[in-house]
Amino acid sequence: MKSDVLLKTDLPLKPFMRGKVRDIYDLGNELLMIATDRISAFDSVLPNGIPYKGKVLTGLSVFWFNFTRDIIENHLITANVDEFPDEIRRYSGILEGRSMIVKKAERIDIECVVRGYISGSAWKEYREKGGVCEISLPKGLKESQKLPEPIFTPAIKSKTGHDINISEEKMADLIGNELTERLKRISLQIYEKAFDKANRNGIIIADSKFEFGISNGKPILIDELLTPDSSRFWSLEDYSPGRTQKSFDKQFVRNYLEKIKWNKEPPAPMLPDEIVKRTSQRYLEAYRRITGRDIIK
């Protein structure tokens, strides 16, 4: 399994950016987005890679981009390396299954979050204020409880890298009323359609974050879509409100890091093989449940 791990790329192409997980190159009007096998926990990238993680993230994004095309256009041009330009196809050994060529868009700097269940920062805000993003919620909700209906809770990135929830009104101040209404409506539609699909296959998508950009004067969906890195995936059979849920992907990693009492200051410690293996299996399982296919042919 180890030979399959890609931690970092160093292609002789113009860099666009390197995130915690993805390496992105600038191709002019297009971007080459590569999902590596890096994994982060508690805001640090770990020294180990997780076999097949990058392929799962890319495979799921491609699946959902196709699944939501009737709701909104997206940035995906192709994830098939045979269709990549010649000068890039020569790296197909590295790129196969884990990369996409996408339209470069002008990013709209709002994280469009939809929540069907109350968890994470929304749970914290609800306990302090009785609502989230100035949406008031019923009294007495338990942690991880299903909300009466999905809510739109936009956020902006802060300088420290943590997101800050904002009200819809604040979002409208930043990008205008019309665009706010449109992104809200689209985000809710995507969430609801994807939620039903995943739920039928044993996964609860508790919440998810969407990013949009402007291309040819209109909003399109960009970035990654409905992956375990941009959403909370819970296992339907293990779900029980009143506590934090096991996340589908990183639970073994977080548990291990808690167990060894890592102080959460970088550098992060090396994970044992067993934790890496079980984490990889969780990612593969998410892909299998959602798409009905296997990444490993």
Ligand X SMILES: Nc1ncnc2c1ncn2[C@@H]1O[C@H](COP(=O)(O)OP(=O)(O)OP(=O)(O)O)[C@@H](O)[C@H]1O
Instruction: Give residues in contact with ligand X (CB under 6 A).
Output: 17, 19-22, 24, 31, 75, 102-105, 107, 211, 213, 222-223
Minimum distance from residue 219 beta carbon to ligand X (Å): 12
Minimum distance from residue 237 beta carbon to ligand X (Å): 29
Q: Which residue is associated with the tokens 């495979």?
A: 59
Token couple for 232: 């909370």
Decide whether 235 or 247 has the Cβ nearer to ligand X: 247
109: nearest Cα among 73, 67, 155, 172: 155
Minimum distance from residue 54 beta carbon to ligand X (Å): 11
**Which H or E run includes 220?**
strand 218-222
Minimum distance from residue 17 beta carbon to ligand X (Å): 6
DSSP-derived secondary structure letter, 140: T
Decide whether 95 or 147 has the Cβ nearer to ligand X: 95
Minimum distance from residue 261 beta carbon to ligand X (Å): 25
Omega before 272 cis (within 30°)? Answer: no
At residue 216's C-alpha, the angle toward residues 24 and 194, to 5°, is 65
Q: Are 59 and 284 in contact (CB under 8 A)?
A: no
Q: Is the torsion defined by CA of 287, 33, 97, 47 positive or negative?
A: negative
Tell me phi and psi for residue 119, to 5 degrees.
Answer: -155, 170
Decide whether 23 or 125 has the Cβ nearer to ligand X: 23
Minimum distance from residue 147 beta carbon to ligand X (Å): 25
Residue 186 — left, alpha, or beta (φ > 0 → left; ψ -120 to 50 → alpha)? alpha
Decide whether 16 or 239 has the Cβ nearer to ligand X: 16
Decide whether 144 or 227 has the Cβ nearer to ligand X: 227
Decide whether 34 or 194 has the Cβ nearer to ligand X: 34
Long-range CB pairs of 288-295 (<8 Å, 24+ gap) are: 289/198, 289/201, 289/202, 289/203, 290/60, 290/63, 290/197, 290/198, 290/201, 290/203, 291/59, 291/60, 291/63, 292/201, 295/52, 295/55, 295/56, 295/59, 295/97
Q: Which residue is nearest to ligand X (CB)?
A: 19
Minimum distance from residue 24 beta carbon to ligand X (Å): 6
Decide whether 37 or 144 has the Cβ nearer to ligand X: 37
SS3 state of residue 291: helix
